[in-house]
Amino acid sequence: MNKPSNASTERIRKTLAKRYRTEKRFRLYGIMAILFGVLCVATLFVDIIGKGHGAFRQTYIQLSVDYAPDVLGISDINDTQQLALANFSGIVKNSLRTRFADVSGRSEKRQLYRLVSNSAEYELAGRLKANHGLLGQSEKVWVLADDDIDTYFKSLNSRDGAFVGRTNDTQQEWIQSLIEAGEIELRFNTNFFRSGDSREPEQAGIGGAIVGSLFTLFITLVLSFPIGVAAAVYLEEFAPKNRLTDFIEVNINNLAAVPSIIFGLLGLAIFINFFHVPRSVPLIGGLVLAVMTLPTIIISSRAAIKAVPPSIREAGIGIGASPMQVVLHHVLPLALPGMLTGTIIGMAQALGETAPLLMIGMVAFIVDVPGGITDPATVLPVQIFLWADSPERAFVEKTSAAIMVLLAFLITMNTAAVVLRKRLERRW
């Protein structure tokens, strides 16, 4: 009796070490897979943050500006026409020429004028408009440096040596002299969050894209949440089980996996060509993205409704509530956390989408920050795409910075979904 069992324990003992090793190896594969993933994400983040952190600060140059009426061509400060046509670029040029008095020659002067961004004249125009008393006075103003100067100045202290780019030796000498006089510095780039797109990198911002994204998501939410929840409730609670509902169910699951560009084509064909919704506005973007997120919301809402135990419904019916009352008073409140989580994840997906927007004209150059759902707008991922394509070197850091902002939004939304689920979830 002992013999056979001894033999099998012997066999087990022999293979035991091997089995332990296989077990260990198996776990190691899993750990390696996770490490690989973490490493990829870490590289991505280091790369993006390394490239993009510079964009949150921008180079400014101090000019002492003389608002000379004869240069500006203003004889009457209260004449808005004169103020609008005034030669502000003239006083910027004058102040640069006074600062670097030894500059002569046409080409050298043009190099000099390229030190500051052309937004300087609009900045000065704004200051004079706000304070008419400045006419004839002079003051020291910090204005934006040109993007080439900005990239050069930021790279001065980098380990790989300065990025010269399009700046030449004379310009570098001027910058050196500005540094010694303390007339050039990096400041926090509020402009980046406030303004819209621009072809001049130093003036470009993601403000317009953020507002556009918010308007678009608002439309998406307002449309897809009620429709999605209504569809889910009907399918789960009321729909008779027959071929038709099965067919609808299969289609909803399929739609969730349809490539998003298809929804863009659908939006173009139906909303733009048939209903004549204008192109490039958050309204059309929101409509298309709503159609795109509907399947996600319906599926997650149905799962949430399914998770509500039947005893709740039975109890409701038992004390005489109508099916609608059961749904509205009991099932929906209990399923809501799950529905909201699904909705937030759907919204996060919509926020990161570019492909469907390509077809409906939201991949466009838009400078003005949109003021409503029928103003032309673009969204964050599209802005990233447009900047990544631009020739100017300074857009590299802007692109990475915009990616950081988009990631921050996505992480916030997904965290909100997790927190919501943890807080409100009820287990039976």
Partner 1 sequence: MKKRSNTAVQLKAAAIGCGIAMTLASTQAVSAPRDYISIVGSSTVYPFATVVAERFGKTTTNPTPKIESTGSGGGMKLFCSGVGTGHPDITNASRRMKKSEFEKCQAAGVSDIVEVLIGFDGIVLANSVKTKQMSLSRKDIFLALAKNVPAPKSMQDEFVTAQTLVANPYKTWKDVNPALPDVKIEVLGPPPTSGTRDAFAELALEGGCKKISWIKAMKKQDKKAYKSLCHTIREDGHYIEAGENDNLIVQKLDANPNALGVFGFSFLDQNADKVQGSMIEGQPPAFDTIADKSYPVSRPLYFYVKKAHVGVVPGIEGYLAEFTSEKAWGEDGYLAEKGMIPLSTDVRQTNGADIKALKAMSGEGL
For binding to partner 1 (CB under 8 A), which residues are involved?
84, 122, 166, 198-200, 227, 230, 234, 238, 275-280, 283, 323-324, 361, 363-368, 374, 376, 389, 391, 393
Q: With respect to partner 1, which residue has the nearer C-beta, 136 or 372?
A: 372
d(Cα 157, Cα 151) in Å, to the nearest integer? 11
Q: Do residues 195 and 205 touch, judged by C-beta distance below 8 A?
A: yes
Q: Do residues 115 and 96 touch, judged by C-beta distance below 8 A?
A: yes
Q: With respect to partner 1, which residue has the nearer C-beta, 211 or 283?
A: 283
d(Cα 206, Cα 195) in Å, to the nearest integer? 6
Q: With respect to partner 1, which residue has the nearer C-beta, 24 or 199?
A: 199
Q: With respect to partner 1, which residue has the nearer C-beta, 80 or 415?
A: 80
Least spacing, CB of residue 301 vs partner 1, in Å: 16
d(Cα 154, Cα 54) in Å, to the nearest integer? 7
Smallest CA-to-CA distance from 88 within 45, 49, 118 is with 118
Least spacing, CB of residue 222 vs partner 1, in Å: 10
Least spacing, CB of residue 387 vs partner 1, in Å: 12
d(Cα 208, Cα 358) in Å, to the nearest integer? 17
For residue 115, report the phi and psi dihedrals to the nearest 5 degrees: -65, -40
Least spacing, CB of residue 368 vs partner 1, in Å: 5
Q: With respect to partner 1, which residue has the nearer C-beta, 268 or 345?
A: 268
Least spacing, CB of residue 240 vs partner 1, in Å: 9
Tokens of 336: 């809501």
Q: Do residues 95 and 112 touch, judged by C-beta distance below 8 A?
A: no
Helices 207-233 and 380-388 sit at what angle, rounded to 10 degrees? 140
Q: With respect to partner 1, which residue has the nearer C-beta, 22 or 325?
A: 325
Q: With respect to partner 1, which residue has the nearer C-beta, 13 or 110?
A: 110
Least spacing, CB of residue 424 vs partner 1, in Å: 27
Least spacing, CB of residue 280 vs partner 1, in Å: 6
Tokens of 89: 């670029």
Q: Do residues 208 and 197 touch, judged by C-beta distance below 8 A?
A: yes
Smallest CA-to-CA distance from 412 within 220, 210, 219 is with 210
d(Cα 66, Cα 88) in Å, to the nearest integer? 10
d(Cα 201, Cα 393) in Å, to the nearest integer? 9
394: helix, strand or coil? coil
Least spacing, CB of residue 351 vs partner 1, in Å: 21
Q: What angle do CA 82, 88, 89 make, to 5 degrees?
A: 140
Q: With respect to partner 1, which residue has the nearer C-beta, 54 or 337?
A: 54
Least spacing, CB of residue 82 vs partner 1, in Å: 14
Residue type, 373: I
Q: With respect to partner 1, which residue has the nearer C-beta, 125 or 334?
A: 125
Residues 219, 221, 224, 229: what is their CA dihedral angle, to the nearest 10 degrees?
-150
Q: With respect to partner 1, which residue has the nearer C-beta, 117 or 341?
A: 117
Q: Do residues 191 and 346 touch, judged by C-beta distance below 8 A?
A: no
d(Cα 227, Cα 292) in Å, to the nearest integer? 12
Least spacing, CB of residue 277 vs partner 1, in Å: 5
